[in-house]
Structure 1
Amino acid sequence: MRLTTDVTGFSDWSPDGRRIAFDFADDSGVHIATISPDGRHRRSLTTTLGVQEVPRWSPDGTKIAFDAFEFDQEPFSISIRVMRADGSHQRQLTHGAIDVEPVFSPDGTKIAFGRIVGDSPTGQLEAIYVIHADGSGLREVVPARAGLEHPDWSPDGRQITFNIAPENPDAADSGAILSVRPNGRGLRVMYPPTRELRFFKAVWSPDGREILSGCHDTGVGLDRICRISGRGKTRVVVSGDTDVNFPSWGAQARPRH
């Protein structure tokens, strides 16, 4: 079911399944809105000239984290921000860096995000940081490495997962899903790429038993959506003759894209 007709990007279901937060483009930049799963009751939450994108709900459904920047700022930076679910009381948590793709911890007290620090011959350099939801306690969890992207937090709070961009074949672990403990220890490859599939944008199911992931089909050169069980069994659940992207789980663990 198609819910919007404008250009949209990342989306995230509210914990109770009643709203979907998403970012969309218009003449003034990129902004965040919410909508009902039936496509009604759309509500814009941000209007500042610039980019506000990648919304993620807090576990209790009262807040939304996102990254943002204003046009024509000097020096350029992207910050992690938090607002109430109705768009009010926006707060900026990070400053002076390029910080992207925030995600709340399962208890809502912390936010993990990526920090882009530069480029390398094998791809963009990005690290993973964690900050308290009030803006205190910033710390690095994974040092910058080529192709790192799309952090997510496991539902039990014990792991932060991320992938290494599949379009950077020369980067170490390209196309793999990795995990690390929130204290920075235990870094490992969780699901390596296969000959046919290279993974990206992995997100945990609410019950922690499965992962939904984008998966590049090397045979036909198209992006699919894959479902990965806890034991690593992988199956393609969304395919076709065009690329698909940005997977998300519904509140009842039904995969969406």
Structure 2
Amino acid sequence: MRQILRWGVSLWAASVVIVSSVSVWDRAVASGTMLVFFSQTDRNYQVYLADMGLYTSYSIGYYPNIQGLPAWSPDGQQIAFDMERDGNRDIYLVCAEGNPLRRLTDNSGADEHPVWSPDGQRIAFVSWRDGNSEIYVRDILTGVEQNLSRNKGVDQDPAWSPDGRQIAFSSWRNGDQDIYVLTLASQSLSNLTHFPGEDTEPTWSPDGHQLAFTSERDGNREVYTLDLASGRLRNLSAHHFTDQNPVWSPDGRQIAFQSWRNRNAEIFIADVNTGELVLLTDSHQSPVHPVWLPEHFNLKVVGLLLQLK
């Protein structure tokens, strides 16, 4: 039977730090082991910062749930997110330097779920401006946008490859939800999963050799890994309750994901090689959407984000 370890201290009982001023966060932190996760309350997300090296976590404030979940730039100096203002949902940036809040998109259809390119120069996102869900890419400097998916089916969950040459996403274009990879230079598109059900939420390993994703191929939602060279599939979560939202650690050794195996949502960390699980949270507050932070990230930009209204 797979061993499940627990942190020595319940994260919800650990030290609590609430953002009170931007100056508290006006510094950069060097770390490859920091993870953010969210716990939804009635009107907000409570935001937690977990140090995987020190086995400690902190509540760092509240994030309005009218906004989409944040995406950190590769250099840790900016955060992209979607937010509804002026009657429409668009992509915004919060920046550590200069203008703290910048509107990136502005059109009549909703734009949401931004993800950064590895070089930090472009953002892929989901847009409904064409009457259905499409994958767009925007150059941050020039503002040039391109529809990459161009299909009447629902396209969502964009994820950049580590070398920036490909984007993985999920699509319903063939009547069921599969994982596709688009090569940007040639615009060639490949269906990687070919499953008559739902495959969604792709995320690349840091070396670009594997994808993790959520699949219903075993009758419930599980976290799978796919070796891109061999096509080998592996059920990493292997449980009869829902497992979803996988994200790779920066070193590629672990995958964080949300699981309902304890009858309420928790965040688990899986060792990719051994399959050993660590229970990161222990609560009844339904933590969601774990996010590994860049190796160097600026806490000032986190403070600015949490002060938005």
TM-score (norm 1): 0.80
Within 5 Å, which residues of 2 pair with 1:93-112? 93-96=148-151, 97-112=153-168
Structure 1 position 126, deviation (Å): 0.6
% identical aligned pairs: 27
Instruction: Provide the rounded CA distance (Å) in 2 between the counterparts of 1:36 and 1:3.
Output: 18
Contact 2:209–2:229 (8 Å) recurs in 1: no
Gaps of 5+ in 2: 1-59, 303-309
Instruction: Provide the rounded CA distance (Å) in 1 between the counterparts of 2:209 and 2:288.
Output: 26
Corresponding residue number in structure 2 for 1:156: 207
Corresponding residue number in structure 2 for 1:168: none
State whether structure 2 residue 85 is matched by structure 1 residue 85.
no
Instruction: Provide the rounded CA distance (Å) in 1 between the counterparts of 2:219 and 2:238.
Output: 7
Structure 1 position 3, deviation (Å): 6.4
2:290 equivalent among 232, 235, 247: 247
Instruction: Provide the rounded CA distance (Å) in 1 between the counterparts of 2:107 and 2:132.
Output: 16
Indicate the SS of the match to 1:146.
Answer: coil
Corresponding residue number in structure 1 for 2:192: 141
Shift in CA distance, 111/10, structure 1 to aligned 2, threshold 3 Å: same
Structure 1 position 180, deviation (Å): 1.7
Within 5 Å, which residues of 2 pair with 1:46-125? 46-70=105-129, 76-85=131-140, 88-96=143-151, 97-117=153-173, 125=176
1:91 is aligned with what amino acid?
Q
Query: Alpha carbon RMSD of aligned pairs, Å?
Result: 2.8
1:232 equivalent among 263, 275, 284: 275
Shift in CA distance, 65/223, structure 1 to aligned 2, threshold 3 Å: same
Corresponding residue number in structure 2 for 1:13: 72
Shift in CA distance, 107/189, structure 1 to aligned 2, threshold 3 Å: same
For residues 185-225 of structure 1, give each alpha carbon's deviation from its aligned partner in whole angstroms, at most 9, with x where no partner exists.
222323312x6x64201011111111111122443xx2222
1:29 is aligned with what amino acid?
N
Structure 1 position 177, deviation (Å): 1.1
Contact 1:142–1:184 (8 Å) recurs in 2: no
More strand by share: 1
Name which one, 1 or 2, has greater alpha-carbon Rg: 2
Instruction: Provide the rounded CA distance (Å) in 1 between the counterparts of 2:235 and 2:94.
Output: 36
How many residue pairs match? The answer is: 236
Contact 1:10–1:55 (8 Å) recurs in 2: no
Contact 1:77–1:95 (8 Å) recurs in 2: no
Structure 1 position 34, deviation (Å): 2.0
Within 5 Å, which residues of 2 pair with 1:195-210? 198-210=242-254
TM-score (norm 2): 0.68
